[in-house]
Structure 1
Amino acid sequence: MTSAVLCGLGTWVPPAVVPNASIAARLGTSEEWIHGRTGIRQRHVVEAGMATSDLAVEAGQRALKSADTDTVDALVLATTTPDRPCPATAPGVAHRLGLDRCAAFDVNAVCTGFLYGLASGTGLIASGVAERVLVVGADTFSTIVDPDCRATAAIFGDGAGAVVLRAGDADEPGALGPFDLGSDGQDADLIMVPAGGSRQRSTREPAPPGAEFFTMAGKAVFRKAIFQMAGSAQALLRRAGLGLADIDRFVIHQANARIINGVADMLGQPVAKFVRNIDQVGNTAAASVPLALASAAGNGELVAGQRVLLGAFGGGLTWGSTVLRWPDIEAG
Structure 2
Amino acid sequence: MIRSVILGSGSALPKRCVSNAELAEQVDTSDEWIRERTGITQRYIAGEDETTGTLATAAAQAALDDAGVSIGDIDLIVLATATPDRTFPATATQVQAALGGKGFAAFDVAAVCSGFLYAMGTVDSMLRSGMAKCAIVIGSETFSRILDWEDRTTCVLFGDGAGAMVVEAQDVAEDGPGLLATRLHAEGEHCDLLYVDGGPSTTGEVGKLRMKGREVFRHAVTNLSSVLVEVLEDAGHVPGDIDWVVPHQANQRILDATAKKLGLPLEKLVVTVGQHANTSAASVPLAYDVARRDGRIKQGDLVMLEAMGGGFTWGASLLRV
TM-score (ref. length: structure 2): 0.96
Q: Deviations over 1:221-261 (max 9, x none)?
A: 11111111111000111111110111111111000000000
Do 2:247 and 2:306's aligned partners in 1 also have CA atoms closer than 8 Å?
A: yes
1:270-322 deviation digits (Å, cap 9, x = unpaired): 11111101111110111101111111122222222221111010111100101
Name the structure 1 match of 2:159.
Answer: 157
- The AA in structure 2 aligned to 1:90 is A
| Corresponding residue SS for 1:83 | coil
Does residue 200 of structure 2 align to residue 176 of structure 1?
no
Q: How does 1:110-125 map to 2 (within 5 A)?
A: 110-125=112-127
Question: How far apart, in 1, do the equivalents of 2:279 and 2:177 lie?
Answer: 24
Alpha carbons 2:242, 2:304 under 8 Å: kept: yes
Is the 8 Å Cα contact of residues 19 and 41 (structure 1) preserved in structure 2?
yes
Structure 1 Cα separation of the partners of residues 294 and 137 of structure 2: 23
Specify which of 240, 243, 249 is matched with residue 245 of structure 1: 240
Cα distance in 2, alignment partners of residues 317 and 197 from structure 1: 21
The answer to whether the Cα contact below 8 Å between 2:5 and 2:168 also exists between their aligned partners in 1 is yes
Match of 2:31 in 1: 31
Per the alignment, residue 134 of structure 1 pairs with 136
Q: How does 1:1-332 map to 2 (within 5 A)?
A: 1-70=1-70, 71-170=73-172, 171=174, 173-201=176-204, 212-326=207-321
Question: In structure 2, what is the Cα distance between the partners aligned to 1:235 and 1:9?
Answer: 26
- Helix, strand or coil for the counterpart of 1:198? coil
- Amino acid of the structure 2 residue aligned with 1:297: R
Aligned CA-pair RMSD: 1.4
Equivalent pairs: percent with the same residue? 42
| Alignment TM-score, normalising by the size of structure 1 | 0.93
Runs of 4+ in 1 over 6 A off after TM superposition: none
- Kindly provide the CA deviation profile for residues 182-223 of structure 1, in whole angstroms up to 9, marking residues without a partner as x: 00000011111111231334xxxxx7xxx8111111110111
Counterpart CA distance in 2 for 1:152 and 1:143 is 13
Q: Judge conservation of contact 2:137–2:167 (CA < 8 Å) in 1.
A: yes
Q: Deviations over 1:145-181 (max 9, x none)?
A: 1112111111101000000110113546540121011
Cα 1:173–1:147 change in 2 (3 A) is: farther
1-structure distance, mates of 2:42, 2:195: 24
Q: Which amino acid aligns with 1:231?
A: S
Amino acid at match of 2:190: D
Task: Give the drift of 1:90.
Answer: 0.8
Q: Tell me, which stretches of 5 or more residues in structure 2 are unaligned?
A: none
Contact 1:182 1:320 in 2 (8 A): yes
- SS of residue matched to 2:59: helix
In terms of fraction of residues, the more helix-rich structure is 2
